[in-house]
């Protein structure tokens, strides 16, 4: 039996802000192809049985939320669930035939819009069979108070192997699996203070002085933006325009997804003397610009994005949330793609420079000071009227090798994140072997026809390729709804139009088809 663990202020915030309209869980859709010769029903029943093993579970899988007389407004703890029921948490579903991605994502959209039961451990896993081409899916969701994106990747990585012949028999939720996975991670060298009392006191005082200097500098830069002295840096609320994307949301969700080759996106970032993440932000910028132009709602001011960054050490499997963020100017008010990408790069550089040299503790303190109004605005129900950002664009590091689940090849790993009042659409992507797997989650009412963003992301990428002089891809005839099968299937949004556009370049093995 483990010792109860108190929730941090950040972890508690996700529980405080949650309601039926705004579930605060994160998830993913993993897509697999069955091993050759395996019967689908028999194979999936075998997976379900091994997921339900009665073993000692690691946190957070075997732990339930404990509150006091003040509920979520008082201290909260994780403690062992004495009535753990894995049959409840591990579920098995089948899609109606013909089992297209459209039906898969309709199911995921519905599942992602429902709250987790707080009287039980805050997670669910759904094995989904019935997809075409011998594929099946695994949809998982975990409350954000228990895990962030990188932490979730670590937890789910315990299930998979780079060896297609390996068969894992231990429960991926067990303490044994967590320890085995931890042993594969490179340990991080941590500073150990001297035994000398005087030296320890000196280092402590020096550290506290450093905190004060660095945080004061960052707050001064923050204030300088509002006073017009700092035009490079973006901060929450400052010149964030009001658009149909920045309204009060309801509980209905819509999820779509697509994959792009990492090297293709990386080449664009490099051509603009930027990074892969700059190119990703520019793709999202171009897509949102097109989406708002199509409805006549493109504002004069640029959209701003919350761009999370991880503060998690390589071998940290215990922290629930270790994340900060940079406010990124998406430059959606600039029509020229060259100038737009360079403006995004400049904004990201300014954000990184502000946090440069700060420790994890300093960054957390700075964000606590400057972002406290976000929780207050949300609690007062005013986030839809005073949005801090226009959207979220989160790039989560994922597996760098082809993964298998007991021989089933992973074809895609698509994140499904959170939308809140004031930010009705969320772009989260994960690197996965040789692909970038995008998952877009949106409020169904506030962002109609969200599947168009898949098309617009491809158009934005092509526009940048042409602008930076990369070889243009020849146009090809539009594919029919039942086009020839690609070498590998992965998920995507639902239009045949998106299929045609993504085929401008021959996709790698992990390329996506469209659905939604």
CA–CA separation, 43 and 356 (whole Å): 49
Coarse DSSP helix, strand, coil percentages of the chain, rounded to the nearest 5 percent: 35, 20, 45
Residue 144 is among the residues annotated as catalytic for this protein: yes
The token pair that represents 382 in the structure block: 């005013």
Sequence-distant (6+) residues with CB within 8 A of 58 are: 173, 174, 175, 177, 178
Token pair 């959170």 in the structure block, residue: 418
CA–CA separation, 80 and 72 (whole Å): 18
CA dihedral 442, 148, 284, 512 (to 10 degrees): -80
CA–CA separation, 229 and 222 (whole Å): 10
Beta-strand relationship, 304-310 and 408-416: unpaired
Select which of 144, 238, 345, 356 is catalytic: 144
The token pair that represents 294 in the structure block: 């199509």
CA–CA separation, 460 and 213 (whole Å): 41
CA–CA separation, 171 and 90 (whole Å): 12
Helix and strand numbers, DSSP H then E, in the chain: 13, 15
What are the start-end ranges of the H helices in 196-308? 197-226, 262-271, 276-294
Show which residues are catalytic.
144
């Amino acid at each position: 039996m483990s010792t109860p663990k108190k929730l941090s202020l950040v972890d508690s915030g996700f529980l405080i802000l949650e309601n039926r309209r705004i579930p605060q869980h994160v998830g993913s859709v993993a897509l697999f192809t069955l091993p050759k010769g395996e019967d689908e029903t028999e194979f999936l029943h075998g997976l379900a049985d091994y997921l339900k093993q009665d073993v000692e579970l690691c946190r957070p899988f075997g732990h339930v939320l404990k509150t006091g007389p003040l509920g979520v407004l008082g201290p909260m703890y994780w403690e062992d669930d004495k009535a753990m029921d894995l049959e409840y948490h591990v579920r098995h579903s089948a899609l109606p035939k013909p089992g297209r991605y459209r039906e898969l994502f309709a199911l995921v959209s519905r599942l992602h819009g429902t709250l987790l039961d707080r009287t039980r451990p805050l997670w669910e896993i759904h094995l989904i069979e019935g997809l075409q081409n011998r594929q099946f899916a695994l949809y998982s969701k975990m409350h954000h108070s228990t895990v962030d994106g990188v932490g979730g990747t670590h937890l789910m990585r315990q299930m998979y192997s780079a060896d297609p012949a390996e068969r894992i028999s231990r429960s991926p939720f067990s303490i044994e699996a967590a320890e085995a996975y931890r042993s594969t991670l490179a340990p991080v060298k941590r500073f150990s203070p001297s035994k000398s009392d005087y030296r320890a006191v000196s280092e402590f005082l020096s550290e506290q002085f450093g905190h004060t200097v660095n945080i004061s500098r960052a707050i001064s830069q923050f204030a300088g933006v509002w006073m017009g002295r700092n035009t490079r840096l973006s901060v929450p609320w400052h010149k964030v325009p009001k658009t149909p994307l920045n309204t009060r949301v309801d509980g209905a969700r819509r999820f779509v997804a697509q994959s792009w080759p990492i090297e293709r996106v990386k080449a664009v970032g490099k051509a603009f003397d930027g990074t892969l993440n700059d190119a990703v932000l520019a793709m999202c910028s171009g897509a949102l610009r097109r989406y708002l132009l199509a409805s006549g709602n493109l504002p004069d001011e640029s959209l701003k994005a919350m761009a999370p960054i991880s503060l998690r050490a390589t071998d940290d499997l215990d922290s629930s949330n270790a994340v900060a963020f940079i406010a990124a100017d998406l430059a959606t008010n600039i029509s020229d793609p060259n100038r737009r990408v360079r403006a995004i790069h400049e904004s990201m550089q300014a954000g990184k420079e502000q946090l440069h040299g700060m420790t994890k503790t300093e960054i957390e303190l700075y964000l606590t000071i400057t972002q406290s109004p976000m929780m207050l605005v949300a609690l007062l129900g005013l986030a839809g009227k005073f949005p801090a950002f226009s959207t979220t664009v989160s790039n989560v590091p994922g597996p760098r090798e082809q993964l298998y689940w007991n021989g089933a090849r992973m074809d895609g790993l698509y994140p499904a994140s959170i939308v809140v009042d004031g930010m009705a659409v969320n772009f989260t992507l994960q690197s996965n072997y040789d692909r970038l797997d995008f998952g877009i989650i949106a409020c169904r009412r506030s962002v109609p026809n969200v599947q168009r963003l898949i098309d617009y992301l491809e158009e934005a990428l092509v526009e940048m390729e042409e602008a930076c002089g990369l070889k243009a891809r020849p146009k090809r005839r539009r594919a029919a709804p039942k086009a020839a099968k690609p070498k590998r299937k992965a998920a995507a949004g639902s239009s045949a139009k998106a299929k045609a556009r993504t085929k401008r370049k021959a996709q790698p093995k992990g390329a996506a088809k469209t659905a939604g």
